[in-house]
Amino acid sequence: MTAKEAFEAGNLTGAIDACGQEVKANPTDSGKRAFLCELLAFAGNLERADKNLEALANVDPETMVAVMLFRHLIRAAQSREQFHTEGRLPEFLTEPGPLVQAYLRASILVREGEFTQAGELLEEQSESFPVIRGTCDGEPFEGLRDLDDLCAPILEVLTSTGKYYWVPLEQIEELSFDPPETLRDLLWRPARLNVAHGPDGVVYIPAIYPGTRNNEDDRLKLGRATDWTNREGGLVQGVGQRSFLVGDKDVPILELKELTIGEPSSS
């Protein structure tokens, strides 16, 4: 089975093994090495992906610009992983308010295994959770959140400069996703983000929940499915493809095209 066939069958591990052999047999084939880099990124093996990107640029200098962007996104993704595993703080466009600070503290508690305390902390924030109104792919909605309890009021954002941001959903004015052009675009979705009182531009939204790399199910790693982990204290964490609750609808991120958000109001 070729790497492409294994990937299409949802066998990420097999695809990486096969692609690695194909690259060894054809070390100057830039297409095969680029495919390997994308597969490794889905698997969460960012360091190996980065090394292969360096080799790709050496083999094919015409890929330099694309390789540079990919490597910057890897830096941003590594910062994201360090937040979720080590507590490295994300970047913010503005000083985080009380709600975002509470979610930062809850993330720390979860890393320490204090799920009940984290759940209680977030429950205390329920009355301050904003009611966000707008349109999703042209349909009006009232209420927007990530279905993962630890990400509920925020959008994780990667930038082409290698930064990892938390952007409160209530600060977003418009989020418009570009159609995927590469396999990598299904992992880090390119989008145009407009925020209130902040910079606008192209960003990349992680389509896969943090920690998915540790799951054995390749479908989840590839974002072809979503599963939920119920923790003590009522916390629910996502694995696999990210999904939002838009009004009363579950909207997977790979199906989302455009969000336009009006003025939020407190619930």
- Domain spans, the chain: 3-84, 90-266
Average pLDDT score over residue span 95-111: 95
* pLDDT tens digits along 120-135: 999 998 888 899 999 9
Strands 164-168 and 91-92: parallel
CB hemisphere CA count around 64 (13 angstroms): 3
Please report which confidence band the pLDDT of residue 187 belongs to, taking 50, 70 and 90 as the band edges.
very high
pLDDT at 263: 56
Percentage of residues in the chain having pLDDT higher than 70: 98
148-182 pLDDT tens trace:
999 999 999 999 999 999 999 999 999 999 999 99
Which CATH superfamily is 3-84 part of? Tetratricopeptide repeat domain (1.25.40.10)
Query: pLDDT of 189-216, one tens digit each?
Result: 999 999 987 778 999 999 999 999 999 9
Residue 138 sits at φ, ψ, to 5 deg, of 90, -10
What is the average pLDDT score of the chain?
A: 94
Q: Which two tokens stand for residue 188?
A: 């880090």
Task: Please return the burial class of 217, using the count of CB atoms within 10 Å of its CB with bins 0-12, 13-18 and 19+.
Answer: middle
What's the whole-model pTM score? 0.94
